[in-house]
């Protein structure tokens, strides 16, 4: 069960909920992130269209994303809406939920290593990571890439920070983006092949200057060549592509050659 630091959601929050009972007048749900507190979706909040059969929209044990309309802590009651959740919001919230699940699994390992409860690990380091990075899993991704040093501002013991960072390196795959395209290069004259080789070699070396990214250039059969960049961030990948292609095209054009690039 993924945990939230707050005991209750706020009005207008989006939350993960599981339907426990569906009736003709609405659906009862449990908010998984808030200790399975009960919420209710009135039939008027099920769909923006006329609801002939509520079970065509929600059924028992179904996991959904809801919008919180009203929270009454004294009555232990939460009003929710299904119809006010856009498809994009569903996508974003479900992705956030999956990342939180991955983070919690790693924290469970930390708890086991230290003979602590999961709640204790959240209190001792989980929420501290969230405070610094905005999301626990984001902090774990940073640690998987940069090691324990990225936890410098996290208020936790050195032992716990190292344990979490080491586990992150072992278990979290750094996300990456890939962009590529096809270059068509023609250089006239007997020295044309050597000019192309030199330009591609220098372009490849330019790309290798970025240690966290990879640059590949290989032939598809003259005069076609593949240029491929893999990087942790899209912005960096685009910058490398611009730098590498810029260097190659400058060399080719200075030798009266032609070069085109088509993104794939």
What domains lie within the chain, and their CATH numbers?
A: 14-84 (2.40.50.140), 88-171 (1.10.150.190), 177-263 (3.30.70.1130)
Closest CA to 103 of 52, 168, 162, 50: 168
Write out pLDDT tens, residues 124-134.
999 999 999 99
Query: What is residue 212's predicted lDDT score, i.e. its pLDDT?
Result: 80
Query: What is residue 1's predicted lDDT score, i.e. its pLDDT?
Result: 65
Write out pLDDT tens, residues 68-106.
999 999 999 999 999 999 999 999 999 999 999 999 999
**252: which residues sit within 8 A by CB, 6+ positions away?**
185, 187, 195, 196, 199, 258, 259
Q: pLDDT band at 138, cuts 50/70/90?
A: very high
The distance between the two most distant Cα atoms of the chain, rounded to a whole number of Å, is 86
Write out pLDDT tens, residues 144-174.
988 999 999 999 999 999 999 999 999 998 7
Query: What is residue 264's predicted lDDT score, i.e. its pLDDT?
Result: 79
Judge whether 208 and 240 are in contact, CB under 8 Å. no
**pTM (2 decimals)?**
0.69
Q: Is the pLDDT of residue 215 over 90?
A: yes
Tokens of 161: 């920070």
């Amino acid at each position: 069960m993924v945990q939230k630091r707050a005991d209750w959601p706020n009005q207008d929050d989006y939350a993960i909920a599981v339907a426990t009972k569906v009736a003709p007048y609405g659906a009862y749900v449990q908010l998984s992130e808030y200790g399975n507190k009960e919420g209710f979706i009135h039939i008027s909040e099920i769909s923006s269209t006329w609801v002939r059969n509520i079970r065509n929209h929600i059924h028992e044990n179904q996991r959904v994303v809801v919008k919180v309309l009203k929270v009454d802590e004294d009555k232990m009651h939460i009003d929710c809406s299904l119809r006010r959740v856009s498809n994009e919001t569903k996508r974003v919230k479900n992705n956030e939920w999956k990342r939180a699940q991955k983070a919690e699994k790693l924290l469970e390992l930390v708890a086991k290593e230290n003979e602590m409860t999961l709640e204790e690990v959240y209190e001792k380091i989980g929420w501290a990571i969230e405070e610094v990075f905005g999301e626990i899993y984001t902090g774990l991704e940073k640690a998987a890439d940069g090691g324990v040093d990225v936890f410098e501002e996290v208020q936790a013991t050195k032992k716990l920070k190292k344990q979490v960072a080491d586990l992150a390196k072992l278990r979290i795959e750094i996300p990456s983006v890939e962009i590529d395209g096809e270059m068509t290069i023609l250089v006239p004259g007997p020295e044309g092949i050597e000019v192309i080789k030199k330009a591609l070699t220098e372009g490849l070396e330019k790309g290798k200057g970025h240690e966290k990214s990879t640059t590949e250039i290989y032939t598809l059969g003259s005069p076609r060549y593949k240029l491929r960049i893999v990087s942790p961030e899209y912005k960096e990948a685009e910058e490398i592509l611009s730098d590498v292609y810029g260097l190659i095209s400058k060399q080719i054009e200075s030798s009266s050659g032609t070069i085109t690039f088509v993104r794939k």
